[in-house]
Amino acid sequence: MNALPEERLGQLRVAKLRALLGPRLDGTTVSDAAPFGNGAALRTDAGLAAFLVEEAGPRSLGGALVWALRKQAQRIVLIVDADAATAGRLAREATYFSLPIEVERIVGTASVPVAAAALPEHAAVVASPEGTEALLAAAPVDVVVEWGITRAEVDGLEVARVTDELGALRLEVGIGKFDREIAAMMHANLPTAQTLQNAIDLVRRARHVGAPIHPLRDLVPERWLRTIALATPELIGAAELRAVDSTLAPASLREAQPAAAIGTSLSGAPIVAVFTAGVDLDVVPHAADTRAWHDPAAELLICAPRRNILAPVVAVADNLLAPARFVELELPY
């Protein structure tokens, strides 16, 4: 825990950003300078928007773009305290926008330019244990393969996955990692099909049309939106869709995690659809990166409930070199 008051900490971060920019501020006037999340932001009268992001994660570009566009900046310098892989990903995302964006990484007491990282390799699919395909085909679940892992989902919420522990393949049942571990201990004597049905029934009671507030209802709403579109693709103007992974795997079910699909539009053109719910300032860079990974020539659709399609995020999408379009898609509660 930092012992400094938030106001003082913000002032120090602004001062650190100024120091890192150094001579680049010479001859300019800083018109805006303020704390920015766990960092700082400033704008100069020359049109530069600069950011310091401490403990930066792979979803750190979107908020900076929202701020810079609102301030009518002409270019961005994003300085991150992050590992090389994270900084390289952010530099790659920066290439999708018409606004010039330079990404730099803190090394020692200075910042150095970062080159855009290559898109990741598509993961090889982990083999499934014998009988898994038939078991899942007989169950009322959607089978999704992402990041090489086969999952069974109910309305977008995972209830089972294939795991490979030191070459031992098995289908683990449960909602998230800890539930899978508990289920493995408590229901070791039950047939897998019964354990799976118990998990399905539990989720069905919480996730349905008109469902009241419940922790299971509110997990990964983005994936529920995708499930709706997969079942009825014409809702987003698609003829057909299939689920795919994005370029960033979520760490847990509680993490905001845009879901993706590819397919064709009603006119037969290729599309990449990315689904989000809630306020997600970084959905546009994430979606653009996912399109580049699967089909750079495809139309990009960003699907979200109407209340979550915010003007500042639409402005970020409008700044893409290859356009994206927002599509309204509502959750069933």
Give pLDDT tens digits for 266-300: 999 999 999 999 999 999 999 999 999 999 999 99
Residue 58 has pLDDT above 50, yes or no: yes
**Integer Cα distance of 113 and 77 in angstroms:** 10
If one compares 298 and 31, the residue with the highest pLDDT of the two is 298
**Predicted model pTM:** 0.92
**In which element (H, E) is residue 183 found?**
helix 177-186
How many angstroms separate the CA atoms of 258 and 307, rounded? 16
Count Cβ neighbours within 10 Å for each residue of 195-231 and write b for 16 or more, e otherwise. Answer: bbbebbebbeebbeeebeeeebbbbbbbbbbbbbbbe
Q: Does residue 90 contact residue 114 with C-beta atoms inside 8 Å?
A: yes
Please identify, in words, the CATH class of the domain defined by 220-328.
alpha beta
Report strand pairing: 39-44 vs 324-328.
Answer: unpaired
CA 153 to chain centre: 19
Residue 102: pLDDT above 90?
yes
Q: Could you give the 3-state DSSP secondary structure of residue 139?
A: coil
CB proximity list for 15: less than 8 A, separation 6 or greater:
none
Question: Which residues in 208-323 belong to E strands, given as ranges?
Answer: 238-244, 259-265, 270-275, 299-304
Residue 27, φ and ψ in degrees, nearest 5: 75, 10
CA dist., res. 16 & res. 117, Å (int): 26
Q: Is residue 249 a contact partner of residue 147, using CB atoms and an 8 Å limit?
A: yes
Pull the structure tokens for residue 61. Answer: 């570009």
Q: Which residues contact 252 (CB under 8 A, 6 or more apart)?
A: 176, 177
> Is the torsion defined by CA of 303, 304, 305, 307 positive or negative?
negative
Pick from 207, 190, 189, 209: nearest CA to 153: 207
Please count the other Cβ atoms lying within 10 Å of the Cβ belonging to residue 186.
10
List, for residues 137-155, the tens digit of each pLDDT value. Answer: 999 999 999 999 999 999 9
- The pLDDT of residue 199 is above 50: yes
Q: Read off the pLDDT band of 252 (50, 70, 90).
A: confident
Residues of the chain with CATH 3.40.1350: 220-328
Q: Is residue 4 over pLDDT 80?
A: no
Residue 61 phi, psi (nearest 5): -85, -35
Q: Which residues of 259-278 are buried (b: 16+ CB within 10 A; e: fewer)?
A: bbbbbbbeeeeebbbbbbbe
pLDDT at 7: 84
Question: Does residue 185 register a pLDDT over 70?
Answer: no
Given the structure tokens 């090489």, which residue do they identify? 148
| Residue 1, pLDDT score | 46
Question: Which alpha helices (DSSP H) does 71-128 contain, by range?
Answer: 84-94
Buried b (16+ CB within 10 A) or exposed e, 74-83: eebbbbbbbe
Residue 131 backbone class (left: φ over 0; alpha: ψ -120 to 50; beta: rest): left
**Radius of gyration over alpha carbons of the chain, in Å?**
22
CA–CA distances in Å: residue 314 to residues 64, 246, 268: 14, 20, 25
